[in-house]
């Protein structure tokens, strides 16, 4: 009786060990990445038209006008710090926008 129980417990332990080591070969979870494809979908607040800004949820016509009037932006967080958008609206559009710094003209010789 003791021998049967010992063999049974050993068998169960071996099965559990085999299963736990078998899981090591699985691929790790994937996370969203900021690829060029995703970056291409972002709306640049420094160059976007009024219509492009209005299409974003959280920015209506009045806010689109304020965004355009406040240009140029060094980064998208300036929409909050300059109080162009309220925090709730900024939260809605933060993942959909970018602010490419404006290109300065080359100095003339």
Q: How would DSSP label each residue in 4-43?
A: HHHHHHHHHHHHHHHHHHHGGGSPPPP-----HHHHHHSE
In a domain, 14, yes or no: no
pLDDT > 60? residue 10: yes
Omega before 2 cis (within 30°)? Answer: no
Q: How many domains in the chain? A: 1
Distance CA 50, CA 65 (A): 7
pLDDT > 60? residue 81: yes
Average pLDDT over residues 82-101: 94
In a domain, 52, yes or no: yes
In a domain, 76, yes or no: yes
67: domain CATH number?
A: 1.10.150
Greater model confidence, 30 or 36? 30
**Measured in whole angstroms, how far is the alpha carbon of residue 3 from the centre of its chain?**
58
Per-residue pLDDT of 33-70, as tens digits, reads 555 555 668 999 999 999 999 999 989 999 999 999 99
- pLDDT band at 99, cuts 50/70/90? very high
Residue 83, sorted as left (phi over 0), alpha (psi -120 to 50) or beta, turns out to be left
In a domain, 80, yes or no: yes
Per-residue pLDDT of 17-28, as tens digits, reads 777 776 565 666
In a domain, 50, yes or no: yes
Domain span at residue 67?
44-98
In a domain, 72, yes or no: yes
């Amino acid at each position: 009786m003791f021998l049967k129980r010992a063999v049974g417990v050993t068998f169960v332990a071996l099965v559990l060990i085999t299963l736990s080591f078998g899981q090591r070969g699985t691929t790790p979870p994937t996370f969203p990445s900021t690829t060029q494809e995703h970056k291409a979908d972002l709306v640049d607040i420094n160059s976007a038209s009024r219509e492009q800004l209005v299409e974003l949820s959280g920015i209506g016509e009045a806010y689109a006008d304020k965004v355009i009037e406040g240009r140029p932006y060094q980064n998208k967080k300036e929409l909050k710090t300059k109080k162009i958008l309220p925090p709730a609206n900024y939260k809605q559009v933060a993942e959909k926008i970018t602010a490419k710094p404006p290109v300065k003209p080359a100095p003339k010789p």
